[in-house]
Structures are given as C-alpha cells and as structure tokens.
C-alpha cells in the first residue's frame, strides 16, 4: 500500500527545485556554525550554552522523536555537515557538473563498504558522551571534526562517503529509517531496466551521452549521480537512501516516487548483514546504559562515565563494550539457537541471527524514544534560555533569558514512556513473527529476549 506524494505538483516542485532545499541547507548550516561558535567562545556552563542546548536537547529531540520515526532519513536530507564539502566537490552549489570530477574522487575501499566504521564512531561518541554532552568546547570540537572530515572526504573520495560510511549518527538513522512511513522508490522497475546510462546513479553527463547531447524532454538535466552510492532502481529498503532528491531531479523518465507507506514496511525484509545486526545491539545497549547512568540515582556510575582516563572510567568502558559487543549478542544468539532447537531447523545460526536482529530495530527505537522523552522534557526549558542568551553573555534576544529551569509535562512523561516501550515490544513481537515465517525458526525465545530487555528498561526509566 503506497501513496506517491509527488503526484501533488506542489510537492514535486518543492522537491525537484533546488532552491527550497538550498534555503534549508543555508539555515541549517548557519545554525550548525552558530552552535560550534557558541561551544568555542560562549560560557563553559553547558545548560546555558547554545551549542550544548541546541545540539543535544533541541536537535536530538527533533531527530529521535520526530525525524527518524516519521521521516526516516529525513534529517540526512537537510543535514548541513556534508554540504560545504559537497559544494567544493561539485564546484557548484546549484549547477550540475559539466566535466569530469575535479578532485580525487577515489572509490571507498571494499573492505569498508559496510557500517562497521559507523559502529565504531558511534561507540566512540557513546563512550565519551558524559563529557561531550556537558562540555561546550568538547561538543564544538566533535562537530568541527565531523565538518572537517566531511569536507576532507569529499575532496578525496567520490560522493558522500562521510555520510554513507563514517558519520556516527548516519549509522543508526539508517537502521531505524526502516521503520519510517516514508520511502523513496522507483515507480516501475521495467523503466529502469531499459534506461540507458542510469543517470540517477552515474550523473547527468551520461544523460547527455544517451540523448546525443540534446536535453531530454522530461526530467531535469541538472542532476548528479546519487551521492549516497545507491542505485535508486534497486532500492528496496530505506537504510541507505539519504532522501537528497538528486535522483528525482535527474531521472529522465520521471520514474522516482516519494511514497507514504505503512510504518516499518522494510522490516518485512529482514537484513542478512552482521554489521547492521551489531548496530542494533549497540543502540539497544547504549539506550539501556544511558538510562541507567544518566537518569538513574547512582552517582558512582556517573562519576565513572565522566572521569575520562581514570581506572573507574576504563571499568565503565569495559562494561559498556562487554554489554554491547558481548553480553547482548551472546544472549540473543542463545535465543536464536533455542528457537532453532524448538523448530528443529538446520539453517546456519548466523542466518537466523542476522534476520532476527531486525526485531531489535523497533525495540531499540522505542528505547531511545523512552530515554529521550525524559531527558528532553526535563531540560527543554533551557532551550528558551539559550535562544535569548546563546553565549551566556547576558543577552535577551527574545525576552526568554530569565526563564527559570523547570521540567515540562512531568505528569505525562511516565505514561508516554510506558506507551513507547509497550509499543516497541508489540512491534518487535510482530516483526519477530514475520522473520520467523521467513527463516522457519521459532520466534518465542527472541520475544522473551525483547521482553526481558523491555522490563529492564522499564525498571531503569520509571
């Protein structure tokens, strides 16, 4: 059941025309640089610094509560981090390329054409998060590094390799984008099969070759090949499509659709990839650790997480890594094996393991929603303060600088968290059922695993 939004001329225009997206990019880039600047020159007090407040409270809230669940990789569509690099790589902001690439344009090595690097970068950020989330200068450094990396990689490699293979946020957005009710797909596969040159992937120069130099009658000639290194004709899941709309602009046959669809349609196609499975474990474990360490009453844990370099911190790191790379996958493997035993299945365990890992996607997303609701609603009042006094310099740009901190919606927070976690479990159980049909292995032990994880998360949050 799919509903193509581009059938509305307004929608199609807004997505195809480069100006609306450019305006949004400029605004996002301005906000991004403003946040970095606040981190460097503003007050070192995190809750009064625009950098901390608008990255880890405002942007994070919008990302995990709205953008990912409802728009999949919607954030990636407007993220400013790759854009300066991409503009340099293209040599243009709006115009298409007219000659061969001007930079190195190397191909990302095969060994790294997976999300293991992103698993690593996210884990690194998670291990240092107590310091990153609370120290403006450190957040500024992290963002600056991401910006420089993105620019550097655009100049050395082809397309958006930073986004596709390195960005710590991109890793989990991609994984969780599979639950979103929006997707970009081709309208008719047959059209792609007969299409010459595949300009949606190779760029518009091939288009001109195919049409003997003249502009085609349909589609825009102003198109780059997919920056996300994805062939739109072969897209079946949201995981790696960044919703940048380049293919929509390039396709000469108007064969690209942006569909509304039921939630989590992609989960009916369980992944076979171990890197994605481990991303699911990392996210699940990280949500539980954050809930316990950051929102719990245990001061020693927080001190351990913050005091980077000390013995206590190494202990915390060891426990964290053991959980996400050891305990959780091991218990999950046990569940899968028990399921195989129940169903007397001969399928290799790895096969069922990666397939069932799909179950952890809606579960993990709801764990993050549950955690983030508390963190965001408790600290949202800082957004008002930081808006008016972004650097802690005594400004009052919008009259809200004197707002005293107070938590929002405390009465509804816990019911919302319970609903989120219950929803996640139900959704996971349904997904487990679909996977179970496909791999012919009982889903019961995996559902038990998900239930135990949910009970632990409930205990940590409530």
Partner 1 sequence: MKQWYYIILAGLAGAVIVFAPLPIRVEAPAARIFRVEASRFAYSPAVLTVNPGDTVTIELVSMDVVHGLYVDGYGASVTADPGQTARLTFTADKPGSFRFRCNITCGALHPFMIGKLQVGKNTLLWRAIGLTLLAAFSGVVLTPHPVSIKVA
Partner 2 sequence: MKRSEMLGRLLVIAGVLIVLSVPFAVHNYEGQGSIEIHGRMAETGGWSPSSIQAQAGVPLHLRLTSDDVMHGFAIGQSDVPAVDIAPGKMTDLTLTFDKPGKYTYYCTRWCGPNHWRMRGTIEVSGGSSDAPQPLSPPLYVTLNLNIDAPLPAPVTPVGRPSARRGAAFAAMLTPSYLTPDYYHAHSPAQAYLDLRADPTLSSLSDPSVWDLVAYLWRSNSTPDGLAEGQRLFAQNCAACHGETGGGNGVFAASVNAQTGKFPVNFTDPASMLGVSPALLQGKILRGGMGTGMPYWGPIFENETIWSIIGYLYTFQFDEEQK
Cβ proximity to partner 2, 48 vs 220, nearer residue: 48
Query: Minimum distance between the CB of residue 226 and partner 2, rounded to whole angstroms?
Result: 21
* Measured distance CA(220)–CA(253) in Å, rounded: 10
Contact call for residue 92 and partner 1 (CB under 8 A)? no
* Measured distance CA(113)–CA(121) in Å, rounded: 15
Task: Give the binding range for partner 2 (CB under 8 A) out of 18-26, 111-119, 161-169, 176-184.
Answer: 18-26
> Residues 29-58 vs partner 1: string with x where CB under 8 A?
----------------xxxx----------
Binding residue for partner 2, selected from 8, 95, 148, 462, defined by CB under 8 A:
95
Partner from partner 1, partner 2, none binding residue 422, C-beta < 5-8 Å depending on class: partner 1
Binding residue for partner 1, selected from 17, 105, 114, 134, defined by CB under 8 A:
134
CA angle centred on 317, ends 38 and 378, rounded to 5°: 45
Query: Minimum distance between the CB of residue 274 and partner 2, rounded to whole angstroms?
Result: 40
Binding residue for partner 2, selected from 242, 362, 364, 392, defined by CB under 8 A:
392
Which one, of 293, 447, 287, lies nearest residue 369 by Cα? 287
Cβ proximity to partner 2, 79 vs 328, nearer residue: 79
Contact call for residue 349 and partner 1 (CB under 8 A)? no
SS3 labels along the chain: CCEEHHHCHHHHHHHHCHHHHHHHHHHHHHHHHHHHHHHHHCCCCHHHCHHHHHHHHHHHHHHHHHHHHHHCCHHHHHCCCCHHHHHHHHCCCCCCCCCCCCCCCECCCHHHCCCHHHHHHHHHHHHCHHHHCCCHHHHHHHHHHHHHHHHHHHHHECCCHHHHHHCHHHHHHHHHHHHCCEEEEECCHHHHHHCCCCHHHHCHHHHHHHCCCCCCCCCCCCCCCCCCCCCHHHCCCCCCCCCCCHHHHHCCCCCEEEEECCCCHHHHCCCCCHHHHHHHHHHHHHHHHHHHHHHCCCHHHHHHHHCCCCHHHHHHHHHHHHHHHHHHHHHHHHHHHHHHHHHCCCCCHHHHHHHHHHHHHHHHHHHHHHHHHHHHHHHCHHHHHHHHCCCCCCCCCCCCCCCCCCCCCHHHHHHHHHHHHHHHHHHHHHHHHHHHHHHCCCCHHHHHHHHHHHHHHHHHHC
Partner from partner 2, partner 1, none binding residue 95, C-beta < 5-8 Å depending on class: partner 2
Contact call for residue 428 and partner 2 (CB under 8 A)? no
Contact call for residue 260 and partner 2 (CB under 8 A)? no
- What is the crossing angle of helices 349-356 and 410-439, to 10°? 150
- Write out the binding residues for partner 1, residues 385-444 only, by CB under 8 A: 405-407, 410-411, 414, 418, 421-422, 425-426, 428-430, 432-433, 436-437, 440, 442-444
Contact call for residue 92 and partner 2 (CB under 8 A)? yes
Contact call for residue 221 and partner 2 (CB under 8 A)? no
Binding residue for partner 1, selected from 299, 309, 311, 394, defined by CB under 8 A:
299
Binding residue for partner 1, selected from 116, 296, 325, 347, defined by CB under 8 A:
296
Query: Minimum distance between the CB of residue 22 and partner 2, rounded to whole angstroms?
Result: 6
Query: Minimum distance between the CB of residue 229 and partner 1, rounded to whole angstroms?
Result: 36
First-to-last alpha carbon distance for the chain, in angstroms, is 38
Cβ proximity to partner 1, 3 vs 298, nearer residue: 298
Contact call for residue 298 and partner 1 (CB under 8 A)? yes
- Write out the binding residues for partner 2, residues 19-48 only, by CB under 8 A: 22-23, 26-27, 29-31, 33-34, 37-38, 41, 43-45, 47-48
Cα separation values, 166 from 90, 118, 163, 169, Å: 20, 5, 6, 9
Contact call for residue 295 and partner 2 (CB under 8 A)? no
Cβ proximity to partner 1, 151 vs 357, nearer residue: 357
> Other CB atoms closer than 10 Å to residue 127's CB: what's the count?
19
Query: Minimum distance between the CB of residue 45 and partner 2, rounded to whole angstroms?
Result: 3
- Write out the binding residues for partner 2, residues 48-67 only, by CB under 8 A: 48-49
Query: Minimum distance between the CB of residue 431 and partner 1, rounded to whole angstroms?
Result: 9
Q: Which residues bind partner 1 (CB under 8 A)?
A: 45-48, 130-131, 134-135, 293-300, 302-303, 306, 342-343, 378-379, 405-407, 410-411, 414, 418, 421-422, 425-426, 428-430, 432-433, 436-437, 440, 442-444, 447-448, 450-451, 454-455, 458-459, 462
Q: Which residues bind partner 2 (CB under 8 A)?
A: 18, 22-23, 26-27, 29-31, 33-34, 37-38, 41, 43-45, 47-49, 87, 92-95, 389-395
């Amino acid at each position: 059941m799919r509903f193509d939004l581009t059938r509305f001329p307004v929608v199609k225009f807004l997505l195809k025309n480069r100006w609306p997206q450019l305006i949004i990019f400029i605004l996002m880039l301005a906000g991004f640089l403003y946040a970095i600047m606040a981190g460097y020159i503003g007050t070192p007090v995190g809750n009064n610094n625009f950098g901390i407040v608008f990255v880890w409270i405002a942007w994070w809230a919008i990302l995990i509560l709205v953008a990912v669940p409802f728009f999949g990789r919607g954030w990636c569509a407007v993220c400013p981090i790759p854009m300066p690099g991409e503009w340099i790589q293209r040599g243009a902001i709006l115009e298409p390329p007219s000659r061969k690439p001007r930079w190195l344009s190397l191909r990302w090595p095969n060994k790294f054409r997976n999300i293991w690097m992103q698993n690593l970068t996210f884990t690194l950020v998670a291990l240092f998060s107590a310091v990153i989330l609370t120290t403006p200068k450190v957040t500024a450094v992290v963002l600056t590094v991401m910006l420089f990396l993105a620019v550097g990689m655009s100049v050395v490699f082809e397309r958006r390799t930073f986004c596709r293979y390195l960005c710590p946020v991109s890793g989990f957005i991609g994984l969780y984008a599979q639950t979103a009710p929006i997707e970009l797909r081709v309208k008719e596969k047959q059209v792609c099969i007969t299409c010459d040159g595949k300009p949606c992937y190779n760029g518009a120069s091939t288009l001109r070759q195919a049409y003997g130099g003249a502009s085609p009658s349909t589609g825009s000639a102003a198109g780059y090949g997919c920056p996300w290194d994805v062939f739109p004709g072969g897209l079946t899941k949201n995981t790696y499509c960044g919703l940048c709309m380049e293919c929509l602009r390039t396709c000469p046959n108007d064969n690209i659709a942006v569909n509304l669809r039921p939630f989590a349609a992609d989960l009916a196609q369980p992944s076979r990839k171990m890197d994605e499975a481990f991303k699911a474990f990392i996210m699940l474990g990280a949500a539980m650790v954050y809930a316990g360490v950051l929102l719990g009453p245990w001061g020693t844990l927080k001190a351990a997480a913050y005091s980077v370099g000390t013995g206590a911190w190494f202990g915390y790191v060891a426990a964290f890594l053991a959980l996400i790379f050891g305990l959780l996958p091991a218990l999950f493997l046990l569940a899968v094996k028990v399921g195989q035993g129940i169903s007397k299945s001969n399928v290799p365990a790895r096969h069922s393991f990666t397939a069932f890992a799909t179950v952890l996607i809606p579960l993990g997303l709801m764990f993050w929603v549950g955690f983030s609701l508390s963190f965001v609603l408790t600290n949202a009042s800082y957004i008002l303060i930081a808006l008016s006094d972004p650097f802690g310099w005594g400004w009052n740009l919008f009259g809200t600088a004197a707002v005293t901190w107070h938590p929002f919606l405390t009465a509804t927070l816990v019911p919302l968290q319970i609903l989120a976690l219950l929803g996640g479990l139900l959704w996971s159980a349904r997904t487990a059922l679909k996977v179970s049909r496909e791999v012919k292995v009982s889903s019961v032990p995996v559902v038990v695993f998900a239930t135990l994880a949910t009970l632990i998360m409930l205990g940590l949050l409530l």
